[in-house]
Amino acid sequence: MEMHIVNYAPPLDETEIPHYLIIGVLFKMGKKNAFIQEVLDSIPAHEHETTYIKHDSVHLKDLFMENINREFNNFYYYKGSLTTPPYTESVNWFVLKHIIEASPEQIAKINRIEGNNARHIQQRHNRIVE
C-alpha cells in the first residue's frame, strides 16, 4: 500500500502551472499502525463518499514520529507527475525508503475504500531517481 501526502502551490497567474511536492509513504503488512487507525477513524461513515480527510482530523507528525523517526532523511527523489488525472508533470516526489507496517485488516479496509490505482506504472524516460 502507498500513501501520498500532497502539498500544492497554486499558480500565481494564468501563465503558470500549479506545482506539487508529494511525499510517498510505503506500507507492508505487519503490526497494527496507530496512525493508519487514526486515518480510518476519520473517514466518513459512507466509505465511498470521499477519500479526502479534513486536515485537522489526522496529525502527520504522528506518522513521522511513530513510524519514521530518525530515518526521515532516507528517501528517493525524482521529478514526475500526478498519479491521477490530469497527470500534471510538475511534481517533486520524495518517496521514503523506510517501509512502514500496517495490519492486514487496516490495509484491506483502505483498499476497499480507495480501490485500484488510477494510472498504470509509467516508463521512467529521462527522469533521474536519486
The answer to whether residue 13 sits within a structural domain is yes
**CATH code of the domain covering residue 22:** 3.10.200.10
Task: Indicate whether 122 belongs to any domain.
Answer: no
124, 15 contact by CB (below 8 A):
no
Domain that holds residue 87: 2-114
Q: How many domains in the chain? A: 1
d(CA 128, CA 58): 33
E-assigned strand segments in the chain? 2-9, 19-29, 75-80, 91-96, 100-102
pLDDT for position 38: 86
- Domain membership flag for residue 42: yes
d(CA 42, CA 109): 13
Domain membership of residue 119 (yes or no) is no
Dist CA 45 CA 87 (whole Å): 30
pLDDT at position 20 is 94
Q: Is residue 127 part of a domain?
A: no
Neighbours of 59 (CB within 10 A): 12
pTM, two decimals, is: 0.75
Strand partners, 26: 2
Averaged pLDDT, groups of 10, the chain, 130 residues long: 89 87 94 90 64 64 65 79 87 90 94 75 74
Asked whether residue 129 is assigned to any structural domain, the reply reads: no
**Which residues on neighbouring strands pair with residue 94, listed in sequence order?**
23, 77
